[in-house]
Structure 1
């Protein structure tokens, strides 16, 4: 087999593939045997008709079509490897010559991975911010812990305030008619949580235990139920119970109650250390992102539309999987977010474009710098994965290979290694 490559236009090439005449004859003969098993040829049992009779019965074109189905795919794959191109879409195949006794010749026009023109990616001197934690941040963490361990006290008298937990009965009406899903009894609601539609929680502030009141609201225009969207409604509500948080004083006793520490100062030191680790991690992540963003911005590449389309499709599939795990369908998500498939595709496109360009640029830098992962590095990472998922490392690697995922895994490790290289070169 021989291959010639012709650049048709930017990011598009045409492979002219020549398959030896002998291989084509073998493929046609095999096609005749295969078809003989599928059709009834008068005078012969299934699978026993000779090629000449199968050809007379079905026509030569049927034999050629069957032969091409089994021949062109492998020949194209071999041509891709031999030519060194990287297709990103299915090829358009045209037959140039098809005749027994002669070489089979076909052309495969295909979109390929674009070439990246790298800009400056070393010596950019992007500084990393210093990590610091203020006393105010520590105090906020302490107050948050204080809120988490607050005790709910039932009020005998008093009025509803923000952050109270109220137990209510309610029923909603539009145009004087109760609507489905608008009724509940002994419902616990935290005022200020934003659980209900705008205006409802605010309408309860100032109400007393045992009080009945009408809360007037208007459903948002983008509300997920089209029957209620934009409509005015009244909720007939009864306040059954008011509970308010009782905060413990921030002292040594509080520290003993909520942690393993004996004093408040020890607790604050622990909170400060944990905050510092979080801040350091965030600062490092921000610096890494800044480096990659600058490097990618400095590069230029004309990305084929099909690469955007495929990336968006993968992103929607990921979203669908995550929603399924949460017990929600994609259609329900569209309804709740007042969107549809087309809106979602347009919304994801900028993120897809950034993702594709970043991958292409990192790959180009990796090749330019000769960055590769070793077998030992791959095995080390697989060992970490096996420990995390409590699987045998050898079995896990074999599973990755069997599913054809090891290559993607190696590509991801190479990308990570390239990112680390860029951070080192642009500190």
Structure 2
């Protein structure tokens, strides 16, 4: 086989050799003999089909199987010579040369390996975490918002003009080209002004009306409106304001605390304010992490830690980034890439640096997850998909099936592990640990956000 091996670096290697045609022929005969013992063919008894007939009938498949067996044999011999354990090979090795000569096939196989590196002094890559102090005014403002949202609606005074934040009870009917359209009419409809529930311009046009007044509102449906028959079209809505409701004067006392802290044994306004402080601190920290520190940490890890990357994995990531970019290109640019292979290759190559960063961070996160003993269970991944589908108004079962069908769960799980590790490292720098967060605080946070909507 005249084997030649080369360890390019700690993450890449190659195996070259000559597959002799006479050896390949032996493999062909062996495979054909095995087939002839079981194959059924008209005119011959089972197990008695001549070898030449089998080789002729199944020539293409037999050749592929023989070549595959020969390449696999070369690969295993190469790994042994390189002293590489098969479990350290990442992805499928790639055949970069398969050139048939008179007596042999010149073959080269490229192999990617798990990078060998260490993560020492990881804290030095974590940016400083400094949280702003929560002020009493922030606490009072949040308390007022919560109380206001819980306050009941009452009918406004008769001379009041409709303003943002008020709830308008209206009758309306929509027309396109002077013709009423389906779904464009309602009576006694309650609309919170400023909620963005209606198409742009509709709610703003109602501001300033008094009870009993009528108005024609000119608006245009967005080009991407969900109903194709209405998208982009100009419409006129005839509207009558029946009633204006406003929030009653909110009451901020121990009774409010009792309604918000049902799990507390002795809820009080003092305890509620302390819970709000903790909630605001958590929000502040989450915002700082998501908008600034996580990306800084990733950049520090990428620039500060150096090791060899497996070329084949980087190439796969480049392919993925390139394919994803095609989905957001305008039709002209997409057509230009299709008609110009050189330009398409340049576009693909433009993702090399991003691909290298992505692959490197993936390996770093994988090692960190082992060092820090951080993992994400499968049920956590399912819960995330379930929650996200509910929030976006989609069917959770359909979404889960979509993730399964497209094999998206591994990538989502890896993303969740990465996020968990980043938060863990930042919390360590801050001197806290996310495991100490109280479930009650999270419940209060979700409850308050719901109420604010």
TM category, shorter: 0.5 to 0.7
The residue aligned with 2:240 is 238
Gaps of 5+ in 1: 317-338, 391-402
Structure 1 residues 47-100: Cα deviation after superposition (integer angstroms, max 9, x where no partner): 531323323x4386663234335x26744774785565866677346534599x
1:139 aligns with 2:140: yes
The residue aligned with 1:169 is 171
Tell me which of 317, 320, 326 is aligned to 1:307: 317
- Label 1:417 to 1:239 Cα distance change in 2 as closer, same or farther (>3 A): closer
Count the aligned residue pairs: 373
Contact 2:365-2:421 within 8 A present in 1 as well: no
Matches within 5 A, 1:344-355: 354=354
The residue aligned with 2:94 is 91
The residue aligned with 2:284 is 279
- Label 1:137 to 1:122 Cα distance change in 2 as closer, same or farther (>3 A): closer
Contact 1:255-1:262 within 8 A present in 2 as well: yes
Partner of 2:280, secondary structure, is helix
Q: Tell me the CA shift for residue 200 of structure 1.
A: 0.1
Q: Tell me the CA shift for residue 168 of structure 1.
A: 3.0
- Label 1:412 to 1:270 Cα distance change in 2 as closer, same or farther (>3 A): closer
1:53 aligns with 2:75: no
- Label 1:372 to 1:299 Cα distance change in 2 as closer, same or farther (>3 A): closer
Tell me which of 357, 370, 374 is aligned to 1:373: 370
CA distance in structure 2 between the aligned counterparts of 1:149 and 1:297, rounded to whole angstroms? 49
Gaps of 5+ in 2: 334-347, 384-406, 432-453
CA distance in structure 1 between the aligned counterparts of 2:352 and 2:316, rounded to whole angstroms? 11
Contact 1:363-1:415 within 8 A present in 2 as well: no
TM-score, length-scaled by structure 2: 0.60
CA distance in structure 2 between the aligned counterparts of 1:49 and 1:13, rounded to whole angstroms? 44
Q: Tell me the CA shift for residue 24 of structure 1.
A: 6.5
Tell me which of 208, 216, 219 is aligned to 1:206: 208
The residue aligned with 1:322 is none
Tell me which of 191, 211, 216 is aligned to 1:189: 191
- Label 1:201 to 1:62 Cα distance change in 2 as closer, same or farther (>3 A): closer
Contact 1:210-1:238 within 8 A present in 2 as well: yes
Matches within 5 A, 1:291-302: 291-297=297-303
Tell me which of 321, 328, 349 is aligned to 1:342: 328
Q: Tell me the CA shift for residue 417 of structure 1.
A: 6.9
Structure 1 residues 106-146: Cα deviation after superposition (integer angstroms, max 9, x where no partner): 33467889999x9x988568422145211222123212211
- Label 1:359 to 1:64 Cα distance change in 2 as closer, same or farther (>3 A): closer
Q: Tell me the CA shift for residue 246 of structure 1.
A: 1.3
The residue aligned with 1:268 is 273
Q: Tell me the CA shift for residue 191 of structure 1.
A: 0.8
Partner of 2:370, secondary structure, is coil
- Label 1:65 to 1:135 Cα distance change in 2 as closer, same or farther (>3 A): same
TM-score, length-scaled by structure 1: 0.63
- Label 1:151 to 1:47 Cα distance change in 2 as closer, same or farther (>3 A): farther
- Label 1:95 to 1:207 Cα distance change in 2 as closer, same or farther (>3 A): same
